[in-house]
Amino acid sequence: MTNKPTPNQTNKPKIQYDYDAIIIGTGPGGEGTAMELSKKDKKVAIVERYKDVGGGCTHWGTIPSKALRQSVRRLIEYNSNPLFRGHEKAKRLTFPEILKHASAVIRKQVQLRSGFYDRNRVEHLVGEASFIDANTLQILKNDGSIEKITAKQIVIATGSHPYRPNDIDFKHPRVYDSDTILTLTHDPRSIIIYGAGVIGSEYASIFRGLGVKVDLINTRERLLSFLDDEMSDSLSYHLWNNGVVIRHGEQIERVETTDESVIVHLASGKKMKADCLLWANGRTGNTADLNVENAGLKADGRGQLKVNDHYQTQVENIYAVGDVIGYPSLASAAYDQGRLAASAMIDNQSTAKLIADIPTGIFTIPEISSVGKTEQELTEAKIPYEVGRSQFKHLARAQIAHSLVGSLKILFHRETKEILGIHCFGENAAEIIHIGQAIMQQKNGGNTIEYFVETTFNYPTMAEAFRVAALNGLNRLF
C-alpha cells in the first residue's frame, strides 16, 4: 500500500518569474551588475527611463564634464605654449563650442555600452520603473502604457541628481545645476558657482580656462577638505592664481534673478552679481519615484538606501549599488560594487569586497589624485611616517611637455618602509597614481618604497616622479 503525502509534504509549485534579475538604471553600477549576472547565464533585464543607456555618468556627469575639461586644457596649453606665442592672438572658445566635443564622446560611449548589453543578451526596457512589491515592477512607458514584470532579484542602480532647494528658481534661464549646465547656449562673461566640492571645483577650472570671471562660493573653510592638506592648498593657490575668487565659509540667503543676470545674497551680507549661477551643492539619491515603500524599503533624507557589505538592502532579494547608496560616489567604485553585488546574488557565501584604498581622481586644472592615507590621518593615528616628494618642474618629460605645475608625494612608514599614501597634483595625476596604487596592493612585504628605487623606469617619463620621490624620502631616514 502506497502512503499518500500529507498536506505538509506536498511540494508547493515553484514561482515562475519573468527574469532572474532586473536592474533599474544603466550607469556604471547597473552595467557592472548586468554584465556579471549575464556571464553567469542569468536571464537579465535592465530598465532605463531614457532611450539611451549610460545613466548620469555618461550623459550629465563624469563623461561630459571630463570631455569639457580636456578641451579647455588643450586650449590653455595652446595659448600658453611658447611655440605658438607671438604668431597669432590667443585663441578663444565658448562653452557651447566645447560642448560639441563632449556630445561626440557621449554618442560614442552610448554606442559602446549599448553593444555590451546586446552581446550579453541583456534585455533593455525603456520606461519609468516603480515597485509594486519586492518582486514586481511597474514600467511606465513613454507612450503612457504600463507593463508589469517580475524577477527573483532586483538591483537598484538609479544614481543621484543635483539637490535643488525649493527657494531657488531652477527654471530661470540664468540658473543651472550640474545637469542642466550642459544646456547652456549663451556665452557668459561671469558665473557664480555655489558649492566648492568636486563638481564645483572642476567647473570653476573649466569656466576660468575659457576666460569667464568665476566666483566660487565654498560653504566650508577649505577646498575639498577630505584631501591631504597640501593638495587642497595647491588647488586653492592655482585657482586663485588663475583668477578665481574663492569665498570660504559662506551660505546663500537668497537668489535674485533678472533677464540678464543673477544676484546672489549671502548670509554674511555680501552681494554678488554674474551672468549666471551654477548650483553645485549636494546630490540626492534617485529613489523618489521608485515607490520603494511598496517593496518594504525606506530611503533616508538624502534619498539613499542602506545596504550591508554585500550591497543587500534589508529586503533579502533587493540590492542597491552606486550613488544611490552614498559614499564613495565614484563611477569606478559603482561598477565594482555592481560586480560584487552580482557575485553575492549568485552565491550568498561570497566574501569579495572593494579594495580598501580606492583612488580618487579630481579633474580640476591641474588635476588631483590620491590613494591611501593623508598626512593628517597618519599624524592623528600617531603612525611614524616619512615623506618623499618630487616636483614636476624638475622632470625632463614635464619640461618637454611644458607641464611644469605639479608634484608627487609618497607617505611611507619610517621603519617598515611600507607605502601608506600617495598624493599627486598636476597634469595626468589620475593616470600617474595607478603606478603607486599597484605597488600598494602587493602582499607579503612587496609594498615598500624601495621598489621605486630598485626598478628601472622609462626615461623620460612622468613615472620617473616615483623614483625621484622615493630617493627624496629615503634620504630623510637616519
Binding-site annotation, residues? 48-57
Residue range 19-162+284-346, CATH number: 3.50.50.60
Supply the pLDDT for residue 92: 84
Topology match between the domains 19-162+284-346 and 366-474: no
Q: In angstroms, what is the C-alpha Rg of the chain?
A: 25
Supply the pLDDT for residue 450: 97
- Which 3 state secondary structure label does DSSP give 431? helix
Q: Which residues contact 49 (CB under 8 A, 6 or more apart)?
A: 126, 127, 128, 129
Residue range 175-281, CATH number: 3.50.50.60
Binding-site annotation, residues for FAD? 48-57
Place of cell 540664468: 174
Q: Which residues are 388's β-sheet partners?
A: 410
The structural architecture, per CATH, of the domain 366-474 is 2-Layer Sandwich (3.30)
Residues of the chain with pLDDT under 70: 1-13, 85-89
Burial of 338 (0-12, 13-18, 19+ CB in 10 A): buried
Supply the pLDDT for residue 376: 97
Supply the pLDDT for residue 2: 45
Q: Where are the domains of the chain?
A: 19-162+284-346, 175-281, 366-474
Q: Which residues are 318's β-sheet partners?
A: 154
| Helices 95-119 + 28-39 axis angle, to 10 | 20
Supply the pLDDT for residue 10: 47
Burial of 350 (0-12, 13-18, 19+ CB in 10 A): middle
Supply the pLDDT for residue 273: 98
